[in-house]
């Protein structure tokens, strides 16, 4: 063995005239010991890779980028979309949704207490039907400071439906769903540990919520969370407080409950949907006038699996990102396969000698495959490190409201997927080069000094790989262009108001101190004193105003039916988005007054009810006349239109303009309010002084937890588009760089192979310019074919992405033109280096090498 190894090494040194010595092949293993053969191949592959540091470094870098980016995106998609819910037989859990046929653009996900209670009493296909809704409470800590905790109201069957049992204590009873008996609570594990020190005797003790005494009846298991793995966890669970009016078909419109059920064995989701639809239709027939306009005849109740309910809105978007990063991985694999083909040609003498000395084709293929798998595993190890860093960097940029973000991370499941991807890519990019190289020409390498001449098949295969890289890069770069252009269009949308430098704080104007004077003070007077105190804060530039209800951009609003004199009504899709605001609100937000007047301090509870409408409402309700001075009934109260303001996109730049009406806060019931403060500089720097001003009016006033800036809400609204644009831009750059490296590698190898030919051409009078043109012409052919193929794929794939774009056609010719130009220039630039090298070949040196 030593003798033939020394012969091979000496022969290689003689043939290459001083080139890097060939690594001797591994000795033949004994028969019947495949593991020993595999180990020898591993040791040999390590030695080979160490002897070629440049090749190894390039291959590892390309694979690390491909596998790392794929692993990072997979960890996000897996946590958010792919994993099942952490409940027993989670696929049997369904959410019951209501849809409205009069407003087909609105998908309901909540229902009224009356409807839920009827459903629960009459349904036959569920083992249990429960309902939940979010809430928040003020909880005093050990020092007596009030803090806001996220809560979940759940009916008595909810935990039984999920098949979850409290770690300590018990669940709720049906009797505790009634107002007056509802003050019982189950603590989350985290709150139990943080607030109560993990007291094992906590059950039976009390906790003060909203300064009322509640009995603690249980503690949830440590790993339980609902909504599942939410960014802000639920800390306390309480039963509903259904009143008598919530159990009869009266005036209650408390539509905030999401029904969740567990299907009986053998019942399908489709069967449950049909049953609930029939039940809802029967209730509509039984109560035709309640609630007016909510559900009419038709398929208006359906069931979705709870998993689909949680992730259905983001699944297609997440899978699109996973598909995009898969293209990056494919480009990386094609690049490394091309490198392996080029290197296998250089190693032709080694492989030929091994074959001549008796090595079987299977043994040669196995050796080359082991080398490629080692490369892929090494790239995966580096890629996992990049993925871990990437996930930590990406999580803060994820869109708000994304489900299950708390579970995103590099865990065993993701590591297993990365390892599987490494093995698949190692075999995938190594198999074809290994098979191609395992059929050596046994005469050429040992007889011809130009021992590295490749076969025509290798040239064709390398060219196909480069063409494939370019085609895939076209898809990525076009995608990056489409999403970037879509985002630019979105940012140019005029929302109709100025959202910069606005501090936003949720307050409750009905909260009072124990002072008799303040307890009997009207809400309007209390809010006025609060606003005056805030306006005196240094740094408050343009004053403060208040709106009753949810923040803009969160989807919270109050629809109100509109009735005009003569009996014409506008309901559901034609209804008014009603907002109760203080005087100066519209001016503070920069909404222009077009006609009439704004709301004023004279619009009190004891004066004529008034309303200011936007242009969309004026066009809808009074298309052929001036809306100012018209009368309309909104929410059961007749009002006079005193002004018309400009349209706003109060649900974000992607939302359509809606009919909006602004009513005086003093003329409505205030359940909760949002305080808006315009500042001279950074709004959050003024926040402590604003809080102090509020507490100077009422030391017990609670801020309900939502403290931010209106600009921050805008960023959250467009976060998904910004995130998608950024990732596609990154994928496009990666694809562009890796494919350019592939073009460079092929052209550099081509120049090396044709050094003698180039030398002869230059000896016969060819100019350096003609040589450069020859090389670039070859590169241009590959690039052109790749661009043509990629354009066709991108044209088709763009249509699939149409629903993700904003006011931009997926076949926009400008995007395609820019993308193709960028890729062509990058490919030609990558070809210039080997082209210039070819032009600098010395004819005498080239001819001597032959």
Residues 6+ apart with CB under 8 A from 679: 501, 502, 503, 539, 540, 541, 685, 686
- For the four alpha carbons of 148, 149, 150 and 151, in that order, the dihedral sign comes to negative
Token pair belonging to 618: 């004026």
Please tell me the predicted confidence (pLDDT) of residue 2.
44
Please tell me the predicted confidence (pLDDT) of residue 15.
39
Query: Distance between CA atoms of 194 and 175, rounded to whole angstroms?
Result: 30
SS3 content of the chain, % helix, strand, coil (to 5): 50, 15, 30
Name residue 111's beta-bridge partners: 257
Three-state helix/strand/coil letters over 625-656? CCCCCCEEEECCEEEEEEEEECCCCCCCCCCC
Residue-wise pLDDT tens digits, 768-800: 888 888 888 888 898 999 999 999 999 988 888
Residues 6+ apart with CB under 8 A from 232: 150
Please tell me the predicted confidence (pLDDT) of residue 344.
67
Token pair belonging to 338: 């091309």
Please tell me the predicted confidence (pLDDT) of residue 731.
92
Low-confidence ranges of the chain (pLDDT < 70): 1-34, 99-109, 141-146, 250-255, 289-299, 344-359, 436-458, 508-523, 549-558, 572, 669-672, 704-707, 753, 844-850
Residue 417 CA neighbour count, 13 Å, CB half? 21
The per-residue b/e assignment along 201-211, b for 16 or more CB within 10 angstroms, e otherwise, is: ebbeeebebee
Please tell me the predicted confidence (pLDDT) of residue 143.
62
CB 571 within 8 A of CB 102: yes
Query: Distance between CA atoms of 239 and 172, rounded to whole angstroms?
Result: 7
Nearest by Cα to 377 from 737, 49, 735: 49
* CB-count burial class (<10 Å; 0-12, 13-18, 19+) for 509: buried
- C-alpha 744: how far from chain center: 35
Q: What's the whole-model pTM score?
A: 0.80
CA distances from 682 to 151, 499, 541, 678, 734 (A): 31, 13, 11, 10, 37
Query: Distance between CA atoms of 736 and 579, rounded to whole angstroms?
Result: 50
């Amino acid at each position: 063995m030593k003798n033939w190894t020394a012969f091979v090494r000496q022969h290689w040194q003689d043939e290459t005239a001083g080139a890097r010595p060939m690594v001797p092949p591994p000795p033949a293993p004994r028969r019947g010991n495949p593991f020993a053969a595999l180990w020898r191949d591993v040791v040999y592959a390590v030695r080979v890779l160490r002897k070629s540091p440049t090749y190894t470094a390039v291959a590892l870098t390309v694979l690390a980028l491909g596998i790392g980016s794929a692993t990072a995106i997979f960890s996000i998609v897996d946590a958010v979309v792919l994993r099942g819910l952490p409940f027993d037989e989670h696929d049997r859990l369904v959410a019951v949704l209501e849809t409205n046929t009069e407003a087909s653009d609105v998908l309901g996900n909540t229902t009224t207490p009356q409807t839920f209670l009827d459903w629960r009493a009459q349904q036959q296909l569920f083992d249990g039907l429960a309902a939940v809704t979010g809430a928040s409470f003020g909880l005093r800590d050990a020092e007596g400071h009030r803090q806001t905790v996220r809560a979940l109201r759940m009916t008595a069957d909810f935990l039984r439906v999920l098949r979850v049992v409290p770690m300590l204590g018990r669940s709720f009873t049906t009797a505790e769903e009634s107002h007056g008996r509802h003050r019982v609570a189950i603590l989350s594990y985290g709150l139990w540990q943080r607030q109560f020190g993990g007291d094992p005797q906590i059950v039976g003790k009390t906790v003060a919520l909203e300064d009322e005494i509640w009995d603690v009846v249980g503690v949830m298991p440590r790993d339980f969370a609902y909504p599942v793995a939410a960014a802000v966890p639920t800390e306390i669970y309480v039963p509903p407080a259904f009143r008598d009016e919530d159990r009869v078909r009266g005036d209650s419109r408390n539509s905030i409950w999401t029904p969740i059920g567990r299907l009986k064995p053998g019942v399908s989701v489709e069967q449950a949907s049909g049953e609930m639809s029939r039940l809802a239709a029967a209730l509509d027939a039984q109560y035709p006038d309640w609630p007016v306009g909510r559900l009419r005849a038709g398929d208006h109740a359906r069931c979705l699996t709870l998993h689909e309910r949680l992730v259905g809105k983001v699944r297609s978007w997440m899978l699109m990102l996973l598909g995009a990063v898969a293209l990056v991985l494919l480009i990386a694999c094609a690049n490394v396969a091309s490198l392996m083909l080029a290197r296998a040609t250089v190693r032709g003498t080694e492989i030929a000698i091994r074959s001549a000395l008796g090595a079987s084709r299977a043994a040669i293929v196995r050796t080359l495959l082991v080398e490629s798998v080692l490369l892929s595993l090494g790239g995966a190890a580096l890629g996992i490190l990049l993925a871990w860093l990437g996930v930590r960097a990406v999580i803060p940029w994820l869109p708000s409201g994304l489900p299950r973000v708390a579970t995103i991370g590099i865990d065993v499941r993701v590591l297993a997927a990365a390892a599987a991807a490494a093995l698949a890519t190692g075999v995938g990019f190594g198999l074809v080069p290994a098979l191609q190289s395992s059929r050596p020409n046994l005469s050429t390498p040992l007889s011809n000094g130009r021992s590295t001449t490749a076969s025509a098949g290798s040239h064709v295969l390398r060219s196909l790989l480069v063409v494939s890289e370019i085609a895939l890069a076209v898809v990525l770069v076009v995608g990056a262009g489409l999403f970037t252009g879509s985002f630019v269009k979105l940012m140019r949308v005029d929302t109709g108001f100025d959202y910069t430098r606005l501090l936003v704080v949720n307050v409750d104007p009905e909260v009072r101190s124990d002072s008799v004077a303040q307890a009997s003070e009207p809400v309007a007077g209390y809010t006025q004193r609060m606003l005056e105190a805030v306006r005196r804060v240094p740094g408050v530039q343009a004053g403060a105003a208040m709106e009753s209800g949810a923040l803009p951009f969160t989807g919270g609003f109050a629809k109100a039916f509109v009735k005009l004199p003569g009996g014409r009504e506008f309901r559901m899709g034609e209804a008014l988005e009603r907002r109760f605001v203080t005087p100066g609100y519209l001016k503070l937000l920069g909404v222009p007054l077009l006609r009439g007047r704004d709301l004023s301090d004279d619009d009190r509870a004891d004066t004529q009810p008034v309303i200011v409408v936007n242009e969309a409402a004026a066009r809808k309700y009074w298309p052929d006349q001036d809306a100012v001075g018209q009368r309309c009934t909104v929410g059961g109260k007749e009002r006079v239109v005193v002004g018309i303001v400009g349209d706003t996109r109060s649900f974000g730049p992607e939302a359509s303009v809606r009919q909006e009406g602004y009513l005086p806060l003093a003329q409505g019931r205030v359940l909760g309010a949002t305080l808006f403060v315009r500042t001279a500089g950074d709004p959050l720097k003024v926040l402590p002084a604003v809080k102090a001003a509020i507490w100077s009016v009422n030391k017990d006033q609670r801020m309900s937890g939502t403290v931010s800036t209106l600009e921050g809400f805008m960023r959250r609204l467009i976060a998904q588009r910004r995130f998608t644009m950024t990732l596609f831009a990154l994928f496009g750059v990666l694809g562009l760089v890796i494919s350019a490296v592939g073009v460079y590698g092929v052209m550099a190898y081509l120049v090396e192979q044709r050094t003698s030919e180039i030398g002869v051409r230059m000896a016969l009078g060819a100019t350096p310019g003609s040589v450069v043109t020859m090389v670039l012409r070859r590169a241009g052919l590959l690039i052109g074919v790749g661009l043509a193929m990629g354009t066709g794929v991108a044209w088709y794939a763009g249509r699939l992405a149409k629903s993700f774009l904003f006011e931009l056609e997926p076949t926009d010719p400008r995007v395609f033109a820019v993308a193709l130009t960028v890729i062509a220039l990058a490919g030609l630039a990558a070809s210039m280096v080997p082209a210039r090298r070819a032009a600098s070949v010395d004819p005498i040196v080239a001819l001597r090498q032959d």
